A and B are shown apart, each in its own frame.
Chain A
Amino acid sequence: MLRFEGEALAYGSTTVLADVDFALHPGERVVLLGRSGAGKSTLLNAAYRRLAETLPEIALVPQEHGLVPQLSVFHNVYMGRLDARGAIYNLANLAWPFPSQRRSVAVALETVGLTGFDRKPVESLSGGQKQRTALARAIHRGGRILVGDEPVSAVDERQAALLVDELERCFETVLLALHDVELARRFATRLVGIRGGRIHFDRPTAEVSNGDIHDLYRA
């Protein structure tokens, strides 16, 4: 469903990743690993843009969440399906939320443990709650594939594991960047290590040794 062959990926005008060979197949759960600034976000963004061109059924949890702080949790989650209805329906629901939409959003909120938060403005939430809202938006959107940039970085380890399990349940194909190696190993079918502006390894999880990982993070 996605293939980069020897491509250079840039952030603005600076090339961050050179000579990228990367493919994503349906049903895979791929996790990108690497030190911060290695180029994980660049690869994720490029992958999202490429996938979205041909596959509109794609959900995204961007870095920094991309939430609208002034709007309620309900509206932010609803925005995941902004393409499902026409503008008039959307605007009516912005001014006066429909009960059916409230129910539908409540399901996604329950999944991420935010039941009862739907009327709170996002700006009043804690960091972890904001991240859950962004996850709820992606889950509410649904679809065949999820692209997420550190989607559980702001919640504690145990909850991160639960949330990642939910993502696995909701999406057939997942492409994530994670910093928690243990979590990545447990979740991913394939691990991709990025170092020094290049893809360092790209192998099924079972074939990645602790030495490989250590290599990735050493100074």
Chain B
Amino acid sequence: MPRLGRIGTAAAFVALAVALLPIADLRMASHDPWAELGRMGAGLLSPDFSSLGALSYAAALTVAFAICGVALGATAGFLLAPLYRFAPVRLLCIAIRSIHELFWAILLLQVTGLSATTGILAIAIPYAGIFAKVFSEYLDEADSRPAAAMPPRADFVSVHFFARLPLAAREFQVYLLYRLECGLRSSAVLGFVGLPTLGFQLDTFFKQGMYGAVAAVLIIYYVLIATMRLWMHWPLAPVYLIGSIGFMATLTTPPMAQGALIRFLTSDIVPAPLRNGDLADGETWSRFFDWLHNLLVNQALPGLTATMIVTQIALVLAGFVALIGFPLLVRPVIGRFGSIIGHIGLVVGRSTPEYMLAYIALQVFGPSILPAVIALGLHNGAIIAHLLGRQSAHVHESLRQDAPRGIVLYAYELLPRIYGSFLALCLYRWEIIVRESAIVGLLGIATLGFYVDRAIQEIRIDRAVILLLVTMLATVAIDYISRKFRAAIGIEKLVAKKDQVPTSATNLHAAISGR
């Protein structure tokens, strides 16, 4: 790793993003985006709740999918966590969580159709990988002395449940609640691929230009997210879970052909030249390599290039949004009124799923990578700003009495103290932005998701699987590079949970491993 220093590293990222601008397709493809935006704004200001029945049903399903998916994912992650130190388990978890739940959904649609199973598994599978990682980290961080004091020949399971788990149980609970919030977001977004959640309603109303109804969907969604901690109480959790399972059971599922799973595993995902040819024949293999070469050069490469262009520009944009956004949360900088506006703006920015933001931006600006960059930059920037805002409130409490106010406070006292954390958080989000850039391709932006979606439309699942593997490798590679950067500039420990306000530990995990 070259020694760039903290300022140098940020400058290098900005320089790379600027260098990418000329080759990035950032034009506004829409004829008259401002008129469209005007119509949208007018619609949003006059929400139309006329189809409240359908919306309530979709909202209830959104919650039910989230609860079932998160419960299943958490259970699997809970069981995998103590095994996370074994390489095969760790690799499995890395693999399943590097694929976005929307990708899981479109893959599962081939097997389980437009059913409750598809929606639940699409959330549960990637979440299981995330839960396993985070739970295992909590277990590692917990006091290890009780386990060391156990009888020498006590079995692994008993020691785990008596002397490890109770020490991390509280963190598990807090994290689970945070993940449920993510689950609500994921569940809503699954509507965009056809599952009957809020995203489906949003998509339908958007396509009909019914912006008042769009506003109603968004309002219901925000209310759901904002009130979650009021209705989600631990003693009620079993009731919600049983209720959700019951609700799921009432969904009618379009019939799937017999043996869809077997066909998927043994035929659909096998590369076409191998499926149709004789494996002992050298000719088959040469056709396979041609197939692979074509796929990699003509689809994976342009897709990956676009994904990385979106990622790098969006990352820098997110950084700027965060730097401008976090002081808006600090009252001594911006004043009382300003901080209220700042809070609302950032809450909306971070609780609207990036996919939904990209969808809306796409309607306004038309198909180029501009909507993707804007959506990912705003969403991730708002998340980083939120975490930094909390940290600066903490910093501000411990400042000297005669500390300055306003912009001077920001520039001289807060920013220098927060800058290391800022860089660390940006580097943590980097990998997540890669995953998100790939997924917005489903909207028609030419990133990897676009090619995955096209392969699936053409029922060429074998191609989709290879493209998803490329996506996975890109995510893992960026994760690795990000870790090297963090180590090289000495910020690996900067956001260690112990330096944080206690309640933000889970938010930090959100930044590190969440989406």
Contact = CB atoms under 8 A, between A and B. Distances in A.
Q: Which of A56, A69, A71, A75 has the most CB of B within 10 A?
A: A71
Contact of B162 (A58, A65, A71, A134): A71
B158 A82 contact: yes
A70 B167 contact: yes
Contacts, number: 71
Which residue, B151, B154, B169, has most C-beta atoms of chain A within 10 A? B151
Interface stretch (A84-92, A107-115, A172-180, A191-199): A84-92
B152 A68 contact: no
B3 interface: no
B458 interface: no
A62 B152 contact: no
Interface stretch (B80-88, B141-149, B192-200): B141-149
Given A71-B166, A82-B162, A90-B161, A66 B154 contact: no
Contacts of B340: none
A56 B157 CA distance: 18
Interface string A50-91: 001100101010101111111100010001111101110011
Interface in A100-149: 134, 137, 141
B163 interface: yes
B29 interface: no
Given A62-B145, A62-B149, A90-B161, A68 B155 contact: no
Contact of A83 (B146, B155, B167, B169): B155
Nearest to A66: B149
Contact of A91 (B151, B161, B166): B161
Interface string B383-424: 000000000000000000000000000000000000000000
Contacts of A94: 161-162
Nearest to A141: B151
Chain A CB within 10 Å, residue with most, of B146, B155, B163? B146
A1 to B, nearest CB: 15
A86 B150 CA distance: 14
A86 B158 CA distance: 8
B152 A56 contact: yes
Contact of B152 (A52, A67, A69, A79): A52
Interface residues of A, number: 29
A58 B145 CA distance: 17
B162 A66 contact: no
B166 A70 contact: yes
B150 A68 contact: no
Interface in B25-43: none
Contacts of A68: 146, 162-163, 166-167
Given A71-B162, A71-B166, A90-B158, A66 B153 contact: no
B470 interface: no
A94 B155 CA distance: 15
A57 to B, nearest CB: 9
Given A82-B162, A90-B162, A66 B146 contact: yes
A75 B167 CA distance: 14
B151 A83 contact: yes
A82 B150 contact: yes
A83 B156 CA distance: 10
A75 B148 CA distance: 16
Contacts of A75: 162
B295 interface: no
Contacts of B157: 87, 90-91
Interface of A: 52-53, 56, 58, 60, 62, 64-71, 75, 79-83, 85-87, 90-91, 94, 134, 137, 141
23 contacts: A52-B152, A56-B151, A56-B152, A58-B152, A65-B149, A66-B147, A66-B148, A66-B149, A67-B146, A68-B146, A68-B167, A69-B167, A71-B162, A71-B166, A79-B146, A79-B163, A82-B155, A83-B150, A83-B151, A87-B161, A90-B162, A94-B161, A137-B149
**Which 7 A-B pairs have CB atoms at the shortest separation, nearest pair first?**
A66-B149, A87-B157, A82-B154, A52-B152, A83-B151, A90-B158, A83-B154
